[in-house]
Amino acid sequence: MAEGMKDKVTGKAKEVAGEVSGDNELKAEGRADQAAGKIKDFAEKAMDKAEEASESVKAGVDKIRKELK
């Protein structure tokens, strides 16, 4: 989640700098960086959940195998 957070913080800084300086391109770049950070955070959380589900399924399969022996 660190990479997503870094993008969100950097993006916010760019957005504010663009707002203060009147640089609409920098402001837009900052918003895009923030969006990318949110997407990275979401993807990382999804990967974590998928890994947890996989481990749960593996544990269930192992339990069934032991019961069948």
Kindly report the pTM of this predicted structure. Answer: 0.73
CA atoms within 13 A on the CB side of 7: 16
Domain boundaries, the chain: 2-68
Averaged over successive runs of 10 residues, the pLDDT of the chain (69 residues) comes to 90 97 98 97 96 95 90
- The whole-number pLDDT of residue 1 equals 59
Q: What SS3 class is residue 69? A: coil
Which tokens belong to 3?
Answer: 């990479």
The answer to whether 32 and 8 have CB atoms below 8 angstroms apart is no
Listed residue (12, 33, 14, 36) closest to 24, CA to CA? 14
